[in-house]
Amino acid sequence: MNPDRQTAIAARAHRIWQEAGCPHGQDAMHWHQAEREQDEAEARAAAVEDFNAEPVAAARATPARKRVAKAIVAADDMPAAPARKPRAPRKAAAAATTN
């Protein structure tokens, strides 16, 4: 076992023992709990390291859209606009009230 890891686990197990009120006979339970916590901390650190090491471009899921150049049409080649429908004449509201 890595000496730094063992030292970290021993220090955490000691803190767990103190937080529990210094009970006798539970040293193995405190040691295993400290090992689990150390394993979880190392796994989180590795996950963060892997995440930060991944290139940003590879993280992009969808490809970039290609821009399409629109054709420029000359004014002579454009079709004529359709003729507008004639509007109905407005009703004369004033003429109706004067009768």
Question: What is the tens place of the pLDDT at every residue in 4-36?
Answer: 999 999 999 999 999 999 999 999 999 999 999
For residue 31, give the H/E element and its range: helix 27-53
Domain total of the chain: 1
φ/ψ bin of 79: left (φ > 0), alpha (ψ from -120 to 50), beta (otherwise): beta
Cα separation values, 42 from 7, 38, 39, Å: 14, 6, 5
Task: For residue 45, tell me if it sits in a domain.
Answer: yes
Task: For residue 32, tell me if it sits in a domain.
Answer: yes
Task: For residue 79, tell me if it sits in a domain.
Answer: no
Greatest alpha-carbon pair distance for the chain in Å reads: 111
29-88 residue pLDDT tens: 999 999 999 999 999 998 888 888 766 555 555 666 666 556 565 666 666 777 888 888
pLDDT at residue 69, as a whole number? 58
Which pTM was predicted? 0.50
Task: For residue 44, tell me if it sits in a domain.
Answer: yes
Domain that holds residue 15: 3-56
